[in-house]
Amino acid sequence: MENILSIGTAFLVLAITWCAPVRAADTAPNYPSRNIRFVVTYVPGGGTDLVARQVGERLTEAWGQQVIIDNRPGAGGIIGTEIVANASPDGHTFLLGTSAGMVTQPLLVAKAPYDPLRAFAPVSLLTVDSHTLYVTASLPVSNLKELIAYAKSRPGSLSYGSAGPGSPNHMNMEQFKHVAGIDLLHVPYKGSAQSMTDLVAGRIQVMWGSTAALVQQAKNGKLKALAVGGPQRLGVLPDVPTVAEAGLPKLELNMPWFSIFVPAKTPRPIITKINAQVVRTLTDPEMVKRLEGYGYDAHSSTPEELGELLRKEYQRVKALLSVLKISPEQTQ
């Protein structure tokens, strides 16, 4: 388990170093020639939607063509991802690719409608998200150790939410349960927004959630933030310890990543042009500051680096699912 989880930390360190743009002349001068459809595989209001809208706004300004966000939630990201896999490879349809839709879900579906390693052309990494363990304000715990003790004294009585089977929320909680030795009830949703609403309302009690999407609720006292999933504390939650500091040094969680993919066979000059503009966008100090304010770190990459990340993560998650004994039948 430790070897598998350590790969996640190595990936995070590698991702932070990726910021080099593709250096090339404008080899696609007439691109884009019309509006761009940017498919987001979750409902409006979640972290993926937020990042897509921030990046899409900048691309619209740069190119003079509207980047239209198209939210297509369902099946843990499979529905929206399949739409892009079948789209015309002309560069006018983007996918906000996530670690769930591009890695976990295809491994959890007996007959996935697309092969993530073949159906897409990678463009650039966008962000590496951080997950924070939140509990509803009414739960009588104030730190990670108290939550574990509370859960052990009441097996199966606490429920946790996720954006669906195989989502980062689900996978991270299953790893947490495995390492902490606790039993929690999984309540899957079609996206993060409703699960976050129910967490604040107390209809579910626990969730590993996007720091960006829930940080204000924690600051306002509507939620309690107990631990940060990454290896370092976050500037937006400076008083919240990492899971290692909180007492679980062997727990190294998956850091969800967001990226841009286009359909396979999209011409390389178009990919090069998109990548160059995305890199300019994500290295702009104003954009970096804006994303940091939401709890995200901006990270760009070359298409080759993103492709390598996808392949490595696919193998890592495949091994992790075996360790956690999670099969397609268990996620139906």
Residues 215-269 have pLDDT tens digits of: 889 999 999 999 998 888 888 899 999 999 999 998 878 778 899 999 999 999 9
Q: What is the mean pLDDT of residues 281-295?
A: 89
Confidence of residue 1 (pLDDT cuts 50, 70, 90): very low
Q: Is 70 exceeded by the pLDDT of residue 10?
A: no
Per-residue pLDDT for 121 more than 80? yes
CA distance 190 to 132: 20
Question: Which pLDDT tens digit goes with each residue over 158-209?
Answer: 999 988 777 788 889 999 999 999 999 999 987 777 899 999 999 999 999 8
pLDDT at 273 over 80: yes
**Domains parsed from the chain with CATH numbers:** 2-129+255-331 (3.40.190.150), 131-228 (3.40.190.10)
Quick: pLDDT tens for 37-65.
999 998 887 778 989 999 999 999 999 99
State the average pLDDT for the chain.
87
Give residue 211's pLDDT band: very low, low, confident or very high (50, 70, 90). confident
